[in-house]
Amino acid sequence: MHRPQRIAIVGTSGTGKTTLAQQVGRQLGITHVELDALHWEPNWTAAPPEVFRARVAEALTGDRWVVDGNYSSVRDLVWGRADTIVWLDYPFGLVLWRSLRRAIWRSTSGIELWSGNRETWRQTFFSHDSILLWVLRTYHRRRREYPLLFSQPEYAHLRVVRVRSPQETRSWLIGLAGDGISDGISDGVIDG
C-alpha cells in the first residue's frame, strides 16, 4: 500500500480541486496549499513570476502537503516534489455545470476569494476573463496534455490517480483514510 505524503490535485477549473484538497488536508492532517491564493494579488493582478515561484517554493518546504492548481509556471516545483498526482478528469457537461453553479454562487454571494478579489456578474458572464470561457478553452486541452506530461521522464516518480467521476473521487478519499490507496495501476495511471 502507498501512503501519499505530498499530493498534487489537478484538473480543469470547476472540477473541485480545492474542495478535495481541503478534505485531504483535514483527513491526513497535512498542509493545504492553494495555488490561486499564492498567485492572485489585489485587483485580480497576477503575482510577478519570480514572486509566485518563491511563494510556492516556500509553501512546499514541508514533508507533507496537498496542493491544488494547474499552473504550468510552477509545475516543476509542485510535481517535482509531489509523490502523488490526483487528476480529476470529469465529463465536460459536469464540469461546465459545476463551473456555472459556482460562478453564480460566487457572483451572488460576493465572497472574497483571494487578496480581496471577488467574482462579479460582469466578470463571469460578460468578460474575456470569464471562468466559463476559461473552462471552454482549457477542458479538452488539459485532457490531451496531462497523459503526455505524466509520461515525461522527470515525472516518472509520480503515482498518478485518475478519477473520472465524483463517486470515484469519494472512493479514493475513503481509501485514503485506510492504509493508503490500492495498487491497481494500468499504464502508470491508477483508475479510480
Per-domain boundaries in the chain? 6-91+144-191
Would the pLDDT of 147 be above 80? yes
Given this model, what pLDDT does residue 104 score? 86
pLDDT at 164 over 70: yes
Q: Taken in order 79, 41, 20, 127, is the CA torsion positive or negative?
A: negative
Q: What average pLDDT score do residues 140-156 get? A: 94
Is residue 161 within 8 A of residue 66, CB to CB? The reply is no
Report pLDDT for 159: 95
Q: How confident is the model at residue 87 (pLDDT cuts 50, 70, 90)?
A: very high
Q: How far apart are CA 168 and CA 174, in angstroms?
A: 10
Residues 6+ apart with CB under 8 A from 8: 66, 67, 68, 78, 79, 82, 84, 85, 86
Position 189 pLDDT exceeds 60: no
- For residue 162, which phi and psi values (nearest 5 degrees)? -105, 115
Question: How far apart, in Å, are the Cα atoms of 70 and each of 127, 159, 169?
Answer: 22, 17, 18
Better pLDDT: 1 or 136 = 136
Please state the pTM of the whole predicted model: 0.86
- Cβ pair 13, 46 in contact under 8 A: no
If pLDDT is split at 50, 70 and 90, which confidence band does 2 have?
low
| Greater model confidence, 74 or 177 | 74
pLDDT above 80 for 96: yes
Query: What is the DSSP secondary-structure string of 133-146?
Result: HHHHHHHHHHHHHH
Mean pLDDT lowest among 74-78, 97-101, 156-160, 179-183? 179-183
- What CATH architecture applies to the domain 6-91+144-191? 3-Layer(aba) Sandwich (3.40)
The band of 188, judged by pLDDT with boundaries at 50, 70 and 90, is very low
Higher pLDDT, 132 or 180: 132
pLDDT value of position 182: 45
**8 DSSP β-pair partners:** 67, 85
Query: Rounded to a whole number, what is the distance in angstroms from the first to the last CA of the chain?
Result: 15
**pLDDT per position as a tens digit, 14-63:** 899 999 999 999 999 999 999 999 999 998 899 999 999 999 999 999 99
